[in-house]
């Protein structure tokens, strides 16, 4: 990356694409990864020596931190995966069987719509119900859509395109009452919106480690409520340990206990070391403080963009819950081009396009005009950067 000094803000670059991956991370994340790389580096669960045990302890600690953040009954309910997409695939394909019915919203990411599209071609019944910009998933439609063979409802917590927040408490309550499993894609919310899987009646929660949890890329996970059975999608080595008096390495069947059943092969311990530091940063800072700061940036961006001639903001109205994502279009400049000008002309990193989620654009009508420009601030941005971004948009728009 070129060393770029912006004349206007004095800043080198302005990163506002945190919905794709957060940058920068807290300094403690960098040092935790460096420390693990240089001083530990064993393979967790694969041996009993100092380096393997240190790696195992670090992973166990991270599981505990996740359990604390999401209020899971036990750290064993947390499975680490390559990314949120893998977690979603593990759950959908490990739970749904032929003739099962699954319900989803209309503001989902391809990480949900593509596996469901595959499953729909393979004997699973999929119902997509409406979502709207302010209220998210339509809860009345949801109630009416539930059938005797409905196994699962899956929706995101926060839309990665428009920032619309679903009413997770209410959806969870409906699912629990109807005896249907409830799965939440928390890729855009984990770390910035409080999540309590027990109070929210969430049975499955997929999360990304490298977004608002500040871990490295290649980390993510799945919360699985106790008693929910998932057929593993991958089998392989899961380390030693005794199962019923037998060394588990000896068994040809995949272990059935969580988290081993869903953690085949070596985990991304280096990335998880960073995730642990990211989680600690969240606890030390306080999630309320993070939420408030990001909400302020979002409000400031929406208000500022709405005043710019030629800019059409597409966001939940004031008063409705929303995440740290602001989407807009310009009357004539296509979103990808607009984002490219922000990058090349102003050193501002935002994303233009469909954001790996075509469905919400189809609903809102932005699909044929190239999607949106998406600004996604996080805790490490500053007011100066937000102001600078607004001025840059204004300059391009005229």
Span 36-65, contacts to a second copy by CB under 8 A = 37-43, 46-52, 54
Q: Which of 5, 117, 143, 147 contacts a second copy by CB under 8 A?
A: 117
249 binds a second copy (CB under 8 A): yes
Which residues are within 8 A (CB) of 73 and not within 5 positions of it... i.e. 6 or more apart? 198, 225, 226
Report the nearest approach of a second copy to the CB of residue 320 (Å).
26
> Measured in whole angstroms, how far is the alpha carbon of residue 97 from the centre of its chain?
25
334 binds a second copy (CB under 8 A): no
318 binds a second copy (CB under 8 A): no
Question: Could you say which DSSP state residue 333 is in?
Answer: S
Report the nearest approach of a second copy to the CB of residue 73 (Å).
26
Q: Are 197 and 205 in contact (CB under 8 A)?
A: yes
Report the nearest approach of a second copy to the CB of residue 183 (Å).
15
Q: Are 145 and 113 in contact (CB under 8 A)?
A: no
365 binds a second copy (CB under 8 A): no
Report the nearest approach of a second copy to the CB of residue 161 (Å).
10
Compute the distance between CA of residue 354 and CA of residue 370 in angstroms, rounded to an integer. 7
Report the nearest approach of a second copy to the CB of residue 353 (Å).
5
123 binds a second copy (CB under 8 A): no
Q: Are 258 and 74 in contact (CB under 8 A)?
A: no
Which residues are within 8 A (CB) of 93 and not within 5 positions of it... i.e. 6 or more apart? 115, 119, 231, 233
257 binds a second copy (CB under 8 A): no
Give whichever of 235 and 383 is closer to a second copy, judged by the CB atom: 235
Site residues (CB under 8 A) for a second copy, limited to 8-27: 13, 15, 17, 20-21, 23-25
Q: Residue 234 corresponds to which tokens in the numbers above? A: 């991958």
Find the helix or strand (DSSP H, E) in which 294 lies: helix 287-306
Site residues (CB under 8 A) for a second copy, limited to 225-244: 233-240
178 binds a second copy (CB under 8 A): no
Query: What DSSP string runs through 211-237?
Result: STT---TT-EEEEE-TT-----S----
Q: Which of 141, 254, 369, 382 contacts a second copy by CB under 8 A?
A: 254
């Amino acid at each position: 990356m070129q060393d770029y000094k912006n004349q206007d803000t004095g800043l080198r670059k302005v990163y506002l694409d945190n919905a794709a991956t957060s940058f920068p991370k807290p300094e403690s994340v960098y040092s935790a990864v460096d420390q693990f790389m240089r001083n530990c580096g064993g393979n967790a669960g694969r041996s009993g020596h100092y380096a393997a045990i240190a790696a195992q302890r670090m992973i166990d600690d991270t599981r505990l931190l996740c359990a604390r953040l999401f209020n899971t009954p036990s750290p064993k309910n947390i499975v680490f995966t390559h990314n949120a997409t893998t977690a979603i695939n593990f759950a959908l394909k490990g739970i749904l069987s032929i003739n099962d019915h699954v319900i989803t919203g209309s503001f989902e990411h391809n990480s949900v719509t593509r596996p469901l599209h595959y499953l729909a071609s393979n004997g699973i019944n999929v119902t997509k119900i409406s979502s709207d910009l302010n209220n998210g998933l339509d809860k009345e439609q949801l109630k009416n859509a539930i059938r005797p063979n409905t196994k699962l409802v899956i929706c995101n917590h926060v839309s990665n395109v428009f920032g619309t927040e679903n009413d997770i408490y209410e959806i969870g309550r409906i699912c629990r009452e109807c005896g249907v499993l409830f799965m939440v894609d928390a890729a855009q919310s984990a770390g910035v919106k409080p999540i309590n899987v027990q109070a929210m009646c969430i049975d499955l929660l997929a999360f990304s480690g490298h977004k608002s949890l500040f871990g490295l890329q290649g980390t993510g996970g799945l919360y699985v409520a106790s008693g929910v059975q998932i057929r593993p999608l991958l089998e392989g080595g899961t380390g030693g340990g005794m199962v019923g008096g037998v060394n588990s390495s000896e068994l040809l069947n995949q272990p059935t206990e969580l988290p081993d059943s869903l953690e085949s092969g070596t985990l991304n311990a280096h990335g998880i070391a960073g995730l642990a530091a990211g989680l600690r940063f969240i606890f030390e800072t306080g999630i309320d403080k993070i939420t408030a700061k990001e909400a302020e940036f979002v409000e400031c961006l929406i208000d500022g963009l709405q005043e710019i001639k030629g800019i059409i903001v597409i966001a939940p109205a004031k008063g409705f819950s929303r995440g740290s994502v602001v989407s807009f279009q310009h009357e004539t400049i296509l979103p990808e081009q607009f984002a490219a000008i922000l990058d090349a002309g102003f050193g501002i990193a935002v994303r233009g396009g469909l954001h790996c989620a075509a469905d919400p654009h189809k609903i809102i009508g932005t699909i044929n005009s190239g999607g949106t420009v998406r600004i996604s601030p996080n805790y490490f941005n500053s007011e100066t950067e937000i102001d600078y971004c607004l001025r840059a948009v204004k300059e391009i728009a005229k």
